[in-house]
Structure 1
């Protein structure tokens, strides 16, 4: 799995840039347009959070675990809109501090190893984008990817009552994924080999599941699938809107961009890691159907 250092790069090093671009409770996962791209990004993100909340049957009496909570947009939604009790977990110190500053109950903790004695049990659990970081390239190469996911569902089983629901939103590899050996940052720009190599650099310690089937298979026998939908097209639009927000002028934000220039010039690995600001390798992966994006709702049997 991506360790704390990996996630601190992705979500802490440029934490302030994210928040200055997208707000204090920045929603850094695919929104839900359902084909209506006239919606604003904020409206589509709220629609996503409403969909998750309704899918998990969350109300004012619900106790909810927000795994890999990011800057807390889902926790913020369910506490403000539904009056639920939310506990959020992240491995990023920057995210946790930002959430706590904004009144959210968030801890720095690896959500794969949560036990009932840590926070008790929950009525519902959400993991929005977290699974993408659970399996490393090394674990995949060693043939342990399925075990990583099945272990995670055993953790969920201990935290939920019978009939309790779990929502997962995750990127997956899709039909045009290439062999790992073909990945090459020196390949033709925009090619599958190039953009997938950049994705590995951008998200160190992370390897995606091979389609939703891999996730669903490892949820058995304790969970049944309630609903499944692809958000690939929604994610393409989400990334397009993010790029506009990252580029929108803000003096403090652009000063932060300038502060990263020396590292960008001197550190080749860092240049690969921040390619997301330049060419959006994940957007290209969705467009070429190298990757897909799924919303999965499970119920404990």
Structure 2
């Protein structure tokens, strides 16, 4: 098949999603290298992402482009073989085993605290904000933290475990605002150093540690934006670990991105360039992993808020694009822009979700209105 076949076929698919090559709309695309068509149709999302990083195509509004492509279901019509091979690899191998768990820390979270300081809110929270009555990113992230700790009924003196504590923003907030004693664990050395420095005057203990090695007993446990790195082969063990660490009358809150279907791996572009060995859990996988161990008290879905969060991060990145391109390179800048805006389009299109799920070991007694 010649290049004209690939060009005609892909243009036809894009048109079905309302996207035109060299069209007038901000979500339309311009092609700078005609090899783009064959690459996309034979390599799927990996080809789409890498060709963007290589400067083969552009769109004035990448998030709008991906919103339309995903709402039209085009990802199911392009390059089935790479998806099949990727899923097969996920079934055969435990990519999130304990000996491989540090890779995402080194590849993604350790790349530079300066980058994340420019992109994130003042507390360095790298997860979805809660935009109910919020005008700014700082407000949305504080709303999210208050929502979590209200759901957990957090009180002074409680011993709390933060699984995947990031740069320590949530742990610091729990200690400062609620008087909790927090242990935070992360697999990123850079995050651990930052968190230790910013929490050193508080009742916060930061550890560079895998969740499978944690010991002790805790009144409350939460995990914000870390479960995406656990992997479906380890979901049951994750919940077994939480149940073992949690007091009988404790509460556990899981804040995670979710998939609409049960997969065994993530897409190849994301795992190669952004989050190695990651994958998104489905509702079915989470429920099955917790069954018999924990009682599900509440399931809160607010994925559209991640669209707003990612757009806010993108705006911060663009304001600092000159610095980022100088220190990280032009191709990195295009990669990061693609990562943020393709993700924003995915959430707006409801291709992926954001969930907060509350669990208890034995069930909360009496009536209780879960905060919103």
TM-score, length-scaled by structure 2: 0.64
Against the structure 1 CA distance between its residues 203 and 274, is the aligned structure 2 distance closer, same or farther, given a 3 Å change threshold? farther
Q: Secondary structure at the match of 1:164?
A: strand
Distance 2:264 2:192 in 1: 36
5 Å-filtered alignment, 1:215-230, equals 215-230=286-301
The aligned counterpart of 1:191 is none
Q: Which residue of 1 aligns with 2:62?
A: none
Report the aligned-residue RMSD. Answer: 2.4
- Separation (CA, whole Å) in 2 of partners of 1:257 and 1:86: 37
1:172 aligns with 2:258: yes
In 2, the alpha carbon distance for the partners of 1:20 and 1:40 equals 15
Q: Which deviations, in whole Å up to 9, do the C-alpha atoms of 1:234-285 show, x marking residues without a partner?
A: 1001101111112224xxx8445312228x4xxxxxx5x9723245222122
In the TM superposition, what is the alpha-carbon distance from 1:286 to its structure 2 partner? Answer: 1.5
Query: How far did residue 215 of structure 1 move?
Result: 0.6
State the structure with more CA Rg: 2
Q: What residue is the counterpart of 1:276 in the other structure?
A: 336
Q: Aligned-pair distance for 1:13?
A: 0.6
Aligned to 1:27: 125
Q: 1:200 aligns with which of 271, 291, 303?
A: 271
Partners of 1:65 and 1:88 within 8 A in 2: yes
String of CA shifts for 1:67-124, please: whole Å, max 9, x gaps. Answer: 1011111101111111111110000000000011112521110013323xxxx21000
Q: Given the alignment, which residue of 141, 157, 173 partners 1:77? A: 173
Query: Over residues 190-212 of structure 1, what are the superposed CA-to-partner deviations in whole Å (9 max), with x where a residue is unaligned?
Result: xxxxxx44323311111111x22
* Counterpart pick for 1:121 among 217, 226, 251: 217
Given the superposition, is the C-alpha separation of residues 84 and 178 from structure 1 closer, same or farther in structure 2, using an over 3 Å criterion? Answer: closer
* Residue of 239, 244, 253 corresponding to 2:315: 244
Query: Quick one: which of 63, 74, 80 aligns to 2:159?
Result: 63
Q: TM (normalized to structure 1)?
A: 0.79
Equivalent residue, structure 1, for 2:188:
92
Which residue, 327, 338, 346 being the options, matches 1:259? 327
Higher relative contact order (CA 8 A, sep 6+): 1
CA contact (8 A) 1:24 1:71 kept: no
1:151–1:178 Cα change, 3 Å:
closer
Q: Contact between 1:199 and 1:282, CA under 8 Å: does it hold in 2?
A: no
Alpha carbons of structure 1 residues 178 and 221: separation in structure 2 relative to 1, 3 Å: closer
Tell me, yes or no, if the aligned pair for 1:58 and 1:82 is still in contact at 8 Å: yes
Distance verdict in 2 for CA 1:28–1:274, change over 3 Å: farther
Contact kept in structure 2, 1:172 and 1:293, CA below 8 Å = yes
Residues 87, 179 of structure 1: CA spacing in aligned structure 2 closer, same or farther, 3 A cutoff?
A: closer
